[in-house]
Amino acid sequence: MADAAQALLAAGALDAWTMPVVMKKGRPGVMLSALCEPSAVARLQRTFFETTSTFGVRSIPVHRAELERRTVSVPVGEDGVRVKVGVLEGRVVSATPEHDDVADIARRRGLPVRQVYEDASAAARSLRLAPAEG
């Protein structure tokens, strides 16, 4: 499943995930799902068939509402961490540190990832107090 999920991501899936399920006759199974743009449906269906033992793929159109997004950098010690900022109606409603930046700083400094993430989150909270800039 992990290889198939990676193949789906490489084929253009926006996300891929697995979920344990109970199949017919009470048998345990795993459902592999992927989210993609309409233009990638055929490519991902082909990837499902090539990388799994499935004989069928179900497709369901979904609609997505998104926040306006920006990326800014906040200081964490002497380093900067990119923060994804979500804006709703001109107001910052979400500010989330980029995990890769946090993990890199933690590794270089010999600190727990959690500690660096908490420091970055504290710096990001100040963004939620300020109005979003255009």
What distance in Å separates the CA atoms of residue 73 and residue 54, rounded to the nearest whole number?
44
Residue 42's nearest CA partner among 30, 34, 32, 53 is 34
Residue 108 lies in a domain: yes
What integer pLDDT is reported at residue 7 of this predicted model? 98
pLDDT confidence bin for 125, thresholds 50/70/90:
confident
Q: What pLDDT, on the 0 to 100 scale, is given for residue 91?
A: 87
Positive or negative, the CA dihedral 113, 119, 124, 125 is: positive
Same domain, 45 and 79: no
Stretch (H or E) spanning 7: helix 2-10
Whether the pLDDT of residue 128 is over 90: the answer is: no
Q: Identify which of 98, 117, 95, 96 has the alpha carbon closest to the alpha carbon of residue 106.
A: 117
Q: Is there a single domain that holds both residue 88 and residue 114?
A: yes
Coil vs helix vs strand at 125: helix
Rounded to two decimals, the pTM is 0.67
Structure token pair of residue 117: 């993430």
Query: Residue 130 pLDDT > 80, yes or no?
Result: no
- Mean pLDDT (whole number) for 19-26: 96
Residues 10 and 47 in one domain: yes
* 53 phi and psi angles, rounded to 5 deg: -95, 10
What CATH number did the domain enclosing 121 receive?
A: 3.10.20.300
Mean pLDDT of 44-72: 95
Range of the domain at 13: 2-51
> What is the overall mean pLDDT for the chain?
92
